[in-house]
Structure 1
Amino acid sequence: MNIEHYPEKKVFQTTVDGETARLMYHVTDGALDVRHTIVPDEISGRGIASALVKAAYDYALVNGLVPVATCSYAVVWLERHPEYNGKTGKDYAGEGTCAL
């Protein structure tokens, strides 16, 4: 899977079987906050969201940013990967939610 990063748009994305999955983030106060992940139903269940979140947080760590999650998927991902030392964002609204 080829994940592309568009830092000017603050987006990571990949295209699988003609469908594009995206992760949107904000950078503020020394943190990279994953705000939203979108994986079309046609390609869900293949680990694409996980790969996008990992790419974003790997980028954060390489660039000295703290991984933060406002998107509920990213919150769960950070809970499963404590080695990233991530935090839940102040705008997190609970399970099944993402903020733009």
Structure 2
Amino acid sequence: MASVTPPGLAYEVEHDLVRHRFQARIQGYLALLDYQIKRKRMVITHTEVPEAIAGRGIAGELTKVALRYARDNKYKVVPACAYAEQFFQRHTEYDDLLA
């Protein structure tokens, strides 16, 4: 597992390459973004932030880290979970990544 924490973030984001997951442990809770790679496409399949730490922008930060990974690896992105779909609707600056 590798740390991929963006500068200035108050918690550590890790990339679990085996599980295809970006994750952060905050106050003992695990927030995560799961993905699959299929034919040079990153399919974001699930984003989860426990209720106890919700509302802090954690899912958005995990998504931004995942999208940076996709861009660095020249993957197109398929937002297959509801959160990822909404993220792309709100953040048109990532439209170039959409498959």
TM-score (norm 1): 0.82
Q: Which structure 2 segments of 5+ residues have no match?
A: 1-10
Q: CA RMSD in A?
A: 1.3
Residue 73 of structure 1, CA deviation: 0.5
In the aligned structure 1, how far is the partner of 2:98 from the partner of 2:65? 17
Count the aligned residue pairs. Answer: 88
Aligned to 2:35: 25
Match of 2:64, as an amino acid? K
Q: Where does 1:49-88 land on structure 2 (aligned, <5 Å)? A: 49-85=59-95, 86-87=97-98
**Are 1:67 and 1:84, in contact at CA under 8 Å, matched by a contact in 2?**
no
Amino acid at match of 1:4: E
TM value normalised by structure 2: 0.83
Percent identical residues? 36
Partners of 1:75 and 1:87 in 2: CA distance: 10
Instruction: Write out per-residue CA displacement over residues 24-59 of structure 1, whole angstroms, 9 at most, x where no aligned residue.
Output: 001112111110011111100010111111111110
